[in-house]
Amino acid sequence: MKEMYQSYAHQELPLSKIKILAKQYNGVDMWELMGKDEDDFPFLIWISDDDYQVMFWSKYNGMMAGLDEDPVRDYAFAHWLKNNAHPVFGSLEKANKYAEDHQWPRKERNA
């Protein structure tokens, strides 16, 4: 049976409240919950303090911002990524340079 989580979609919440509410995801494999696959490699851009932007390297589209309408789930996913050895960059420029230097893979879409 699929777990049910409280949604906070489209709500403006202070980071202090988000941190508390994100505890509902403790112990959850956020990668599985978010339904991601090997063609979208996640990484983080550090914003400030304990705040990160989830990004993806799409083999088809290159670098893309992860957009989640639920700030609590987004926070939980970011911290799961950070705690599970996904890269964290200090800026988008540094992430771009790293992707270029390490030749992150690209794929062509089949027509």
Confidence of residue 108 (pLDDT cuts 50, 70, 90): confident
pLDDT, tens digit, 9 for 90 and up, residues 72-88: 999 999 999 999 999 99
The pTM score is 0.86
pLDDT, tens digit, 9 for 90 and up, residues 18-55: 999 999 999 999 989 988 777 888 999 999 888 899 99
Mean pLDDT of all residues belonging to the chain: 91
Predicted pLDDT at 111: 58
The arithmetic mean of pLDDT across residues 61-76, rounded, is 94
What tokens appear for 24 in the block? 């509902």
Q: What are the backbone dihedrals phi and psi of residue 51, each rounded to the nearest 5 degrees, phi first?
A: -120, 130
More confident residue, 111 or 37: 37
Confidence of residue 11 (pLDDT cuts 50, 70, 90): very high
Predicted pLDDT at 50: 85
